[in-house]
Amino acid sequence: MTITEKILARACGKDEVRPGDFVNARLDLALANDITAPLAIKEFEAAGIEKVWDPKKVVLVCDHFVPNKDIKSAEQAKLVRDFARRQGLANFFDVGRMGIEHVILPEKGLVVSGDVVIGADSHTCTYGALGAFATGVGSTDLAAGMATGEVWLRVPETIRFNFEGEPGRFVTGKDYILYVIGMIGVDGALYEAMEFGGEAIRSLSMDGRFTICNMAIEAGGKSGIVEPDEATAEYCRGRALREPVMMKSDDGARYARVIDIDVSTIEPQVAKPHLPSNTVPASALADLKIDQVVIGSCTNGRIEDLRMAAEVLRGRKVHPDVRTLVFPGSQQVYKQAMKEGLIDVFIDAEVAVSTPTCGPCLGGHMGILAAGERCVSTTNRNFVGRMGHTESEVYLAGPYVAAATAIAGRVAVPEEVTA
Amino acid sequence: MIFEGTAHKYGRDVDTDVIIPARYLNTHDPDELAAHCMEDIDGDFISRVRPGDIIVAEENFGCGSSREQAPVAIKAAGVSCVVATSFARIFYRNAINIGLPILVCPEAARETESGDLLRVDLEKGEVVNLTKSKSYQADRFPEFMQEIVAAGGLMNHVKKRKQSGGANA
């Protein structure tokens, strides 16, 4: 069996499951945010259910439209706040304690290897980096999960991606995953689990692995996963609230496909509008003038991402025509960035640093684009209207390219601005 | 259940951001959401759509965000069902869970044009293009999902299972 099949078999009390089987899996965690929880709460209460199945395992995070961006958002967030208090939820994260959901859940040790997690947010697949099965669902699925502690799932086929070779100096996990999405397309892994392995994955930090698994959904994947190793164990030590269960795919595991990738051939990538699969090497866009740069999000808002951005920005100033925004993914990331002097680097470079929020990534608030404006962003989607006006454009990239672009005022790679 | 309505045809990879842009997610009221349905891909949609109309699209309909507000907006706009070559998985689950009928029917999706009159027989899984006088057979839902549909959506299914002691109550 693959690691995904093993996790699901364990969660439904079976010795073996096969792709295509329908199972009821026990949940280790169920998550929603201030956009998806209100509908889930409405469904939950309309069904006449009084108590969530386990107040320690239902996690609510206000991160999308908070700090409250307008009156309607405030009303929706209040619904979530009231529900969390009424239900006595142990893990409710709000302004001041919150971060972006997919940054803080691993950080606080709430998700561990071997878990089955659903979240009413498509980027819940991020937690696969820990060797957990995690997938995004809608609000009604989440309501059912909150009520029963179970979710029905079809056991997915798995595509195995082997990353080998030595990456270039400024090539990151973001470039790996953009490259893969460019290769297989936005529905290239539809309904399937994407298992990422090989030497180049094992030598990636946990932050890099989170970035890769985060974007499995952009290839249509049900989940992304990395088999746990010493780096996973090290990450879990001292923070995991439960004992991690570390599994691996068997040697004879059946894969729908195996795709080998030589990372030494991958250049820093950019996904052009309006699909994450529309990738080209950043060097191919060198004349493209940019109005805004966003560094942050559940994809690239972790400390390593901010270190990469600061490495390029240190001692330099961003281009006068570029508005540059940095969103640390959590309070802890923010504090660590302060300790390391990264916030000084950003402010000296004339970059705006914000409290954590998903805000600009989905065109919510804090960085909306006007018609004709272009943004290079370390986020995960570049759909029509994603970050503002339908005639604005989002180019997806990793933190190195984003920071270099902010300095150059056009799409750039770090070598061009640090030489 | 049989639906008859005019087709509104779209291409591939219609994402949930264009079905209901995030700037309107500060509410979960179905009618408010419906007023902005398909706004960023088809600005006139909401003024053209009539009760019973059918959305037809190619591959990967509903990709992107998990927002259930997308099928909620489509349903509240009066659309009777969505026929597509394929659906993104979260949208697929959400549609079943909230009782928005969807059909996977690649041939019908490919050959239908905007303005065609369609008739869909949900039990038979049949799509008939009355304008072009052609009929197509859609894929059947797996049995597991038929149970959810028969129960009247996921929450009713959960209630039934809780009552019979089938889930960790």
Q: What is the pLDDT of residue B151?
A: 84
Measured distance CA(A415)–CA(B12) in Å, rounded: 37
Residue B166 has pLDDT above 60, yes or no: no
Phi, psi of A26 (to 5 degrees): -70, 140
Residue A266 and residue A247: Cα distance in Å, rounded? 29
* pLDDT band per the 50, 70, 90 thresholds, residue B165: low
What are the structure tokens assigned to B100, written together?
Answer: 């928005």
Q: Render pLDDT for A253-283 as a digit per residue (tens, 0 to 9).
A: 999 999 999 999 999 999 999 999 999 999 9
A390 touches chain B (CB under 8 A): yes
Distance between CA atoms of A337 and B52, rounded to whole angstroms? Answer: 54
- Percent of chain B at pLDDT exceeding 70: 97
At residue B158, the pLDDT reads: 86
Residue B142 has pLDDT above 90, yes or no: no
Question: Is it the case that residue B167 has pLDDT exceeding 60?
Answer: no
Select the residue from B61, B68, B161 to test the A interface by mutation, using most A Cβ atoms within 10 A.
B68
| pTM (2 d.p.) | 0.97
User: Among partner residues A47, A122, A186, which is closest to B60 by beta-carbon distance?
Assistant: A186
Residues of A in contact with B41 (CB under 8 A): 384
The complex's ipTM?
0.96
**What is the pLDDT, as a whole number, of residue B169?**
37
Residue B164 has pLDDT above 80, yes or no: no
Strands (E), A140-236: 150-154, 158-164, 193-197, 223-225
What's the pLDDT at B144? 80
Q: How confident is the model at residue B160 (pLDDT cuts 50, 70, 90)?
A: confident
> Which among B86, B142, B169 is the nearest to A190, CB-wise?
B86
Contacts of B15 in chain A (CB under 8 A): 381, 383-384
User: CA nearest A172: which of A210, A149, A204?
Assistant: A204
Region A176-186 average pLDDT: 98
For residue B135, the cross-strand partners are: B128
pLDDT surpasses 70 at A205 = yes
Q: What is the mean pLDDT of chain B?
A: 93
For A22, name the nearest residue in chain B, comparing CA atoms only: B144
Predicted confidence (pLDDT) per residue in A49-96, tens digit? 999 999 999 999 999 999 999 999 999 999 999 999 999 999 999 999
Interface probe, candidates B42, B158, B159, B160, chain A, greatest A C-beta count within 10 A: B158
pLDDT digits (tens, 9 = 90+) for B17-70: 999 999 999 999 999 999 999 999 999 999 999 999 999 999 999 999 999 999
